Amino acid sequence: MTELQLALLAIGALVVAGVFAYNRIQERRVRRDAEAAFRSPAGDALLEAPAPARKVAPMPEGRVATPRPEEAGRPAMPDSRVDYVVDLAFAAPTATDGLRDRWKPFGHLFAKRAILAYSPDGTRWFPLAQGNGDSSLALKAGLQLVTREGAIGEAELIEFRAAIDTIAAATRATIGATDLRVAVDRARELDRFCKDVDVQVVVHVVSGAGAGFDPGRIHALALAEGLTPGADGRYAARGDGDTILFSVERRDGGAFAAGKAEGEPDTGLSFMLDVARAPDTRRTFQAMASAARRMAASLEGRLVDDNGHTLEEREFSAIELQLGAVKAMFDAQGFDSGSAVALRLFS
């Protein structure tokens, strides 16, 4: 091999190595910027105290409405995916009024974590609270295993089971339930899953000139985007059943003046997506990003992450990839983000 050929091979190797190194640097930058746009919800009050229900104006093209409209307004039922469920079967029709009376001494112990449903025929199920004057052939009692406060403890599971056993003994019902140890293990597994997917995506709009944004201008643009002002000082995009898709607040953490077009100039806006509670997170994120881009353009601002780094298309694409991974984790659990089950878990 001649010296010329050796030199060409060496140059070629250097070019390949340089391209590889450049690609790795770019890949790391995209990943870092995308991860910076994800924020842990710990200590946030993003979706607390939502605004009162209202009719939502039709969303322009590019927005997303809440899927699964069949779940809108449907009462929660015991669900073995997220609850410890105990089944009671009665030998004869049993008055639901009496069942509610027997549950009253225990109900306050479990607050909203407990759900009881009755069936008049063993096939259709209704909330026990709505069974005025009805009779029941079966009862399902469910205790939610996980909330955002963490997994349920074994002691509380035992206490719940004892309460249902008491009702079963008083009504001479046969009883069936998962072993308590299995329920404890499921609670821990579910808690790990919740910690992995309980994140927020945050996109900020800041002034390009360093000046604040006029509150009246923000108010007009928010309304034009179909966002509704709430008593909590945030704007929200809402879907079917008044579900919150994403929200907008002042970047400094303060509240807008109840959506009024007045007040001190705002230093920036924060668009926030509560991933676990949002339906079809990829499309919802796209809708939020589109709204943020439009408002940024109208305000002559720019889009940045928590660290002030400018967000470009590659960062938005990287976030969408991560949301796809989150969706796969929900799929593995057998329910979707933003579904009735998810809204119970992430409450």
Question: pTM for the complete prediction?
Answer: 0.72
232 band by pLDDT with thresholds 50, 70 and 90:
confident
What integer best gives the mean pLDDT of the chain?
80
Q: What sign results for the dihedral spanned by CA atoms 48, 53, 57, 58?
A: positive
Residue 110 backbone dihedrals phi, psi, to 5 degrees: -120, 0
CA distance 114 to 108: 9
- pLDDT, tens digit (0-9, with 9 covering 90-100), for 31-64: 444 444 454 443 332 223 333 322 222 333 333 3
Mean pLDDT over 122-146 rounds to 94
Mean pLDDT over 113-137 rounds to 93
265 band by pLDDT with thresholds 50, 70 and 90:
low
> Which position has the higher pLDDT, 73 or 275?
275
- pLDDT, tens digit (0-9, with 9 covering 90-100), for 2-36: 554 444 344 444 434 443 444 444 444 434 444 44
Query: Looking up tokens 């034009």, which residue turns up?
Result: 224
Residue 69 backbone dihedrals phi, psi, to 5 degrees: -60, -20
Asked which of 14-23, 101-110, 257-266 is least confident by mean pLDDT, the reply is 14-23
The structural domains of the chain, ordered by start, are 39-71+199-345 (3.30.1400.10), 83-177 (3.30.70)
CA distance 302 to 295: 9
CA distance 226 to 287: 11
Q: Roughly how many angstroms between the first and final C-alpha of the chain, as a whole number?
A: 71
